[in-house]
Amino acid sequence: MAVVHQILPNLEYGDAISNYAILLRRVLRTMGYGSQVFARFVHPRMHRYAKPLKAIRRYAERDDTIWIYHYSIGSEITRMVRDLAGPLILIYHNITPPLLTVHTDGHMASRFYAGWEDLKTITDLPRFAVGSSEYNRSQLLQIGFRNTEILPIILNYPVFDRAPKRSIVNQYRDGMVNFLTVSRIYPHKKIDDVIKVFHYYHEYINPRSRLFVVGDAKGMEDYQAQLFQFCQNLNIPNVYFTGKVRFRDLLAYYRIADIYLCMSEHEGFCVPLLECMYLGVPIITHKCTAIGETMGDAGILVRRKRFDEIAEMAHLLVTDEDLRTRVINKQKDRVLVFQEDYLVTQLNRILVNSQSSF
């Protein structure tokens, strides 16, 4: 049996791509393949899941090794991936268009830009270029990759059934309406638009309400400061920026959430939507890029950002029990598509085809 190893620049704690790589490792091992994850930087809490990149030489000698390279931003390890023997599968997790961040963070924009340019130079390298959504796959085709496939993102669902942090649940499950958004604090995630919706809701519908913004702001302190100032200018008291949280805390925020809001302008898949679907939190999300595809026929999609109408929609979802139940049930039906069986079928097909010559 061949071995299938994965490579990614960083294996972070609480990062969607890192979690996906770990889940793929388990799935590959269940399918009978030997599998390791290699990363340049491994977060101390993730050491048991991955090996450092320098250890790759010991594993690269086998002829029957298939390599999976997770590509999300430009990285110098692309050069190293070029030299690996054996078929390569590139999993493309999408790159934010640089123009979306150029006005606020030129450094990040230039990294995205370099990532795009780098990707264009390796179109001949992988046997398969794989996107986590049709949106990502179509980008791969535009860039010039020939053999493209879709490999769905799924979650490690059993871990979401674990007990949430009790203190958070006890503190905030108090009859107030809780809005939630889970996202890194990036400008194109449009946290300011989430605040605008909450502002209307809090001011004109229900002052007994809160907004939790859960996500890391590292490197985006200027943007976060702008958001603080924005809240202050609008005089909104109940907006909580939690920063990066532990998994049990994240579960607690999902448990106390009455509404999930996403106003992002760019998503290659949007994993938190899947988490909400599984955990029964009704979603109102901006319909852009891959989001419509991830949502399928579930949730509420925002075609045009009318903040008053979005806030009133949230109010209906909170107060109209029938509507809320209907939306949650539809979301639970939708999440059934993103199950391990589907992933295994797709992965198996890609692996078999990648071993045969074209």
Measured between alpha carbons, how far is 331 from 282 in angstroms, rounded to an integer? 8
Is residue 332 involved in binding another protein (CB under 8 A)? Answer: no
Indicate which single residue of 155, 168, 245, 313 sits in contact with another protein (rule: CB under 8 A).
Answer: 313
Residues 61 to 80: which contact another protein by CB under 8 A?
A: none
Binding mask 262-281 for another protein (x = CB under 8 A): ---x----------------
> How many of the chain's residues bind another protein (CB under 8 A)?
56
Q: Considering the complex, what minimum distance in angstroms separates the CB of residue 127 from another protein?
A: 31
Is residue 226 involved in binding another protein (CB under 8 A)? Answer: yes
Q: Considering the complex, what minimum distance in angstroms separates the CB of residue 286 from another protein?
A: 11
Is residue 119 involved in binding another protein (CB under 8 A)? Answer: no
Q: Do 3 and 61 touch, CB atoms closer than 8 A? A: no
Indicate which single residue of 233, 237, 321, 341 sits in contact with another protein (rule: CB under 8 A).
Answer: 233
Q: Render the burial of 278-300: b for 16+ CB within 10 Å, e for the rest.
A: bbbbbbbbbebbbbebbbeebbb
Indicate which single residue of 56, 100, 122, 276 sits in contact with another protein (rule: CB under 8 A).
Answer: 100
Indicate which single residue of 187, 268, 272, 282 sits in contact with another protein (rule: CB under 8 A).
Answer: 187
- Tell me which stretch binds another protein (CB under 8 A): 88-96, 197-205, 275-283, 345-353: 197-205
Closest to 285 measured CA to CA, from 269, 325, 224: 269
Measured between alpha carbons, how far is 252 from 184 in angstroms, rounded to an integer? 18
In degrees and rounded to multiples of 5, residue 278 shows phi and psi of: -65, -40
In one-letter notation, the amino acid at residue 349 is: R
Closest to 149 measured CA to CA, from 1, 358, 290, 354: 354
- Tell me which stretch binds another protein (CB under 8 A): 85-93, 125-133, 230-238, 343-351: 230-238
Both tokens of 70, joined, read 């997770």
Work out whether the CA dihedral 183, 186, 190, 194 comes out positive or negative: positive
Measured between alpha carbons, how far is 350 from 151 in angstroms, rounded to an integer? 9
Q: Render the burial of 343-357: b for 16+ CB within 10 Å, e for the rest.
A: beeebeebbeebeee
Q: What does the angle CA 204 – CA 207 – CA 208 come to, to the nearest 5 degrees?
A: 145
Both tokens of 13, joined, read 């704690």
Both tokens of 312, joined, read 């009133």
Q: Do 63 and 85 touch, CB atoms closer than 8 A? A: yes
Binding mask 17-46 for another protein (x = CB under 8 A): ------------------------xxxx--
Q: Considering the complex, what minimum distance in angstroms separates the CB of residue 358 from another protein?
A: 35
Q: Considering the complex, what minimum distance in angstroms separates the CB of residue 134 from another protein?
A: 16
Q: Output 32 or 44, the one with its CB closest to another protein.
A: 44
Is residue 106 involved in binding another protein (CB under 8 A)? Answer: yes
Is residue 201 involved in binding another protein (CB under 8 A)? Answer: no
Closest to 49 measured CA to CA, from 8, 1, 107: 8
Both tokens of 322, joined, read 């029938």
- Tell me which stretch binds another protein (CB under 8 A): 183-191, 237-245, 254-262, 349-357: 183-191
Q: Output 47 or 146, the one with its CB closest to another protein.
A: 47
Is residue 221 involved in binding another protein (CB under 8 A)? Answer: no
Is residue 54 involved in binding another protein (CB under 8 A)? Answer: no
Residues in contact with another protein by CB under 8 A are: 41-44, 98-100, 102-104, 106-107, 109-110, 113-114, 187-188, 190, 192, 196, 199-200, 203-204, 223, 226-227, 230, 233-234, 265, 287, 295-298, 300-310, 312-313, 315-316, 323, 326-327, 330
